[in-house]
Structure 1
Amino acid sequence: MLKKFEEVLDKRKEAGILRTLKPKSAGVDFYSNDYLGLAGNEELQEQLLQKVQEKPKLLSGSSGSRLISGNSNTTDETERYIAEQHKYPAALLFSSGYNANLALFSTLPDRHDTIIVDEQIHRSVHDACRMSHARKLKFRHNDPEDLESILKKQTGPCYIAIESLYSMDGDLAPLQEISSLAKRYNAALIIDEAHAFGVFGFGLIEKYQLQNDVFVTVITYGKALGAHGAAILCDETVKSYLVNFASPFIYTTAAQDFLWMAIKTGYEFLKQKPELSKKLHKNIEIFRNQNIDTPSSEMSPIQAVLVPDNQQLRSLQKTLSDNDFLTYAVYSPTVKIGTERLRICLHSFNTEKEIEKLTGIIKAFI
């Protein structure tokens, strides 16, 4: 058995795509999801520290799943607060966005249902669909016409799964068109706002006031909020159904109250600091003004630079690293051959000089 694993790993190593764990590097951050810099914000950390000093029990372990000994007043208060902020009837907290998607798609659809997913939906949704008894179909990325052609052929209940901002191409979904299609065909629309939350206020669902048209929204907190965990926004019936039947919720030990407190504090901090989002969008504008060819949205903090060759991409990333720029390269077969890319993440804390130097190296290279 070990020999089989070693052979597969050796092939990856020969191709130069073996994944390994490395310590966090020093350098200029153009690769993390910390879009607003909250993961290391000293003012926010002081607020969290003060709350822990006032209530040290926040650091205690939960001691069990939420259905046994792991529920608390802090958890319930945070869920009510989140639901109120997003104008949804209810919220259900999870320890990660991956777990939230596993719970949703493995539980709500049954063997008589169809899940129609954007072909670039997050891997967690694909994994969850494998746990479900429902049929899964894909539609072309951000293509409402292709989605409608699939919806027309369905005879039973359907779920539609999309992201509002996609992490690989950094492009935005046509939310209003897709929500209109979902309503027309009586399909349940599920939207993952992982990369939009914090970047666009409390997300694009709130920005376009689509709460009544979106069946379930997923918000994650490990990106712009600089924390961890996730929330499913839904109505009370869906929340109760998940609490009763979602294995990833039922059989997971609850996180300690510090996490839920940090999430609630993060929301409050976002409301206090609108200038962070403004600075981020200014930096996105500076990057776009450098005229780098990209499939990404002009409003996205994720800017993909296509470098359709693994070797060329590896050389570019090394050159950037030698200049102290931390970037993330996505090689085939993680993406299709010919669509290899450098994934640039912009932040509120990046400077104009850093952005101009980064893009100068990229333009000279490609």
Structure 2
Amino acid sequence: MRSADNYIQGKLDERRSSGIYRALKPENNLVDFCSNDYLGFAHSAVLKEIIAREISIHPQNLNGSTGSRLISGNLIYTENLEQQIAAFHKSEAGLLFNSGYDANVGLFSSLPQKGDTIIHDELVHASVIDGARLSHANRYTFRHNDLDSLEGKLKQAKGICYVVIESVYSMDGDMPPVMEILKLTEQYNAHLIIDEAHAVGLYPCGLVVHLELQDKVFARIVTFGKALGCHGAIVLGSDLLRQYLVNFARSFIYTTAASFHQLAAIKMAYELLEKAGDNIRQLTNNISLFKQGISPNPVYCLLNSDSAIQCLLLNSNTKAKQAASHLQNAGFDVRAILSPTVPQGTERIRICIHSFNTTAEINQLSAAINTFINAE
């Protein structure tokens, strides 16, 4: 075996022996309590129909984009869509990226420079961390939602400072004290950037617009693969920021542009979102129903969250995998989240509530969870 193969095999064996080996699984027929399809758009026959209609009235467009947007892949349709999305989120401008990962890597690898500072919550998306690592800026992490910890890092900041948080955290489902964080960033002349990936849907335009802070936040990242049920992302901010990213964001410059089908799907998803009041109300009701159904337990606690992401802490990889297996055997698609994805000792099952989950499904899931935690 070659030396590279020996290394690869050794690392995989380490994962298996630690109980954290990852493997891909095909789709199943279990009741969905794990996907990010919060409003059911990915399942929506209506969305599929209006996407097909949109494509049919633009027959001149190609199957693929043929190149990067700076070469042959830019369309008037794309630029109009960016303007429409920016207006929806009450932003001056926006730039589309092929995925949320691309958006965060492009933004954070290109904007902060050597001598600048990035300060991020310890629980931000991996894509934010990866982008920050690719920059030459100083990088600090502050304790989750901890204002004192953030202020301590702000006092150490040099150069232009960027503070990065999420409006809904992907693994805990909670929300930050945005107003207080904003006050600190203003006090220390820092620029606040908020990833809205898991907030859009619960709040149609995102938490920032819900709080009417869009004019005070430097930039926002909105992804389309969660509540909007399609794919891609946009960085929202000033037109000046948009121009900068077109010139310096490598994940934008050096990649093939999105296909027309992807663009049409995004546009129609926003059209559906504008009419999704009933879906949002049902999602909110379903979240409350689930939380009410979980019995208090002295060992295993449900994290405090009002979002679609609900997490039961089980404190070990073994218990998390046992709980997930128990629920899957009961007919529910719930996944274990293991360390090192989350810190050791905070292993959990992550439950995603959707507008399309029925009362019966939620009650049955709650009962299955209660059976497991009370038997321990």
Confirm or deny a common fold (TM above 0.5). yes
Q: How does 1:333-344 map to 2 (within 5 A)?
A: 333-344=340-351
Match of 1:353? 360
1:144 correspondence with 2:147: yes
Q: How does 1:269-288 map to 2 (within 5 A)?
A: 269-288=272-291
1:311 correspondence with 2:318: yes
Match of 1:10? 13
Larger displacement relative to structure 2 (28-37 or 261-270) = 261-270
Long gaps (5+) in structure 1: none
1:81 correspondence with 2:84: yes
Q: Which amino acid aligns with 1:120?
A: L
Match of 1:112? 115
Match among 220, 223, 242 for residue 220 of structure 1 = 223
Q: Which amino acid aligns with 2:367?
A: G
Q: Which amino acid aligns with 2:313?
A: L
Deviations 1:297-348 (A, max 9, x none): 1x21000000112222222111111111001111122222211100000000
Partner of 1:125, secondary structure, is: helix
Question: Is the Cα contact below 8 Å between 2:294 and 2:369 reproduced in 1?
Answer: no
Q: Which amino acid aligns with 1:365?
A: F
Deviations 1:197-244 (A, max 9, x none): 112111001100111110000000000000000000010111101111
1:239 correspondence with 2:242: yes
Question: Is the Cα contact below 8 Å between 2:99 and 2:233 reproduced in 1?
Answer: yes
Match of 2:337? 330
CA-CA distance at 1:362 after TM superposition: 1.1
CA-CA distance at 1:256 after TM superposition: 0.8
Kindly tell me: are residues 56 and 210 of structure 1, through their superposed partners in 2, closer, same or farther at Cα, counting changes over 3 Å?
same
Deviations 1:233-267 (A, max 9, x none): 01011110111111111101101122122111111
Match of 1:103? 106
Match of 1:249? 252
Match of 2:74? 71
Partner of 2:27, secondary structure, is: coil
Match among 292, 296, 299 for residue 304 of structure 2 = 296
Kindly tell me: are residues 33 and 57 of structure 1, through their superposed partners in 2, closer, same or farther at Cα, counting changes over 3 Å?
farther
Partner of 1:161, secondary structure, is: strand
Aligned residues: 365
Q: Which amino acid aligns with 1:94?
A: F
Q: How does 1:79-228 map to 2 (within 5 A)?
A: 79-228=82-231
CA-CA distance at 1:16 after TM superposition: 2.7
Q: Which amino acid aligns with 1:219?
A: V
1:362 correspondence with 2:369: yes
Kindly tell me: are residues 155 and 334 of structure 1, through their superposed partners in 2, closer, same or farther at Cα, counting changes over 3 Å?
closer
**Segments of 4+ moved more than 4 angstroms:** none
1:25 correspondence with 2:28: yes
TM-score by length of 2: 0.95
Question: Is the Cα contact below 8 Å between 2:167 and 2:194 reproduced in 1?
Answer: yes
Question: Is the Cα contact below 8 Å between 2:108 and 2:131 reproduced in 1?
Answer: yes
RMSD of aligned alpha carbons? 1.2
Larger displacement relative to structure 2 (39-48 or 332-341) = 332-341
Match among 48, 56, 59 for residue 56 of structure 1 = 59
1:229 correspondence with 2:232: yes
TM-score by length of 1: 0.97
Kindly tell me: are residues 59 and 318 of structure 1, through their superposed partners in 2, closer, same or farther at Cα, counting changes over 3 Å?
farther
Match of 2:40? 37
Match of 2:298? none
Question: Is the Cα contact below 8 Å between 1:296 and 1:302 reproduced in 2?
Answer: no
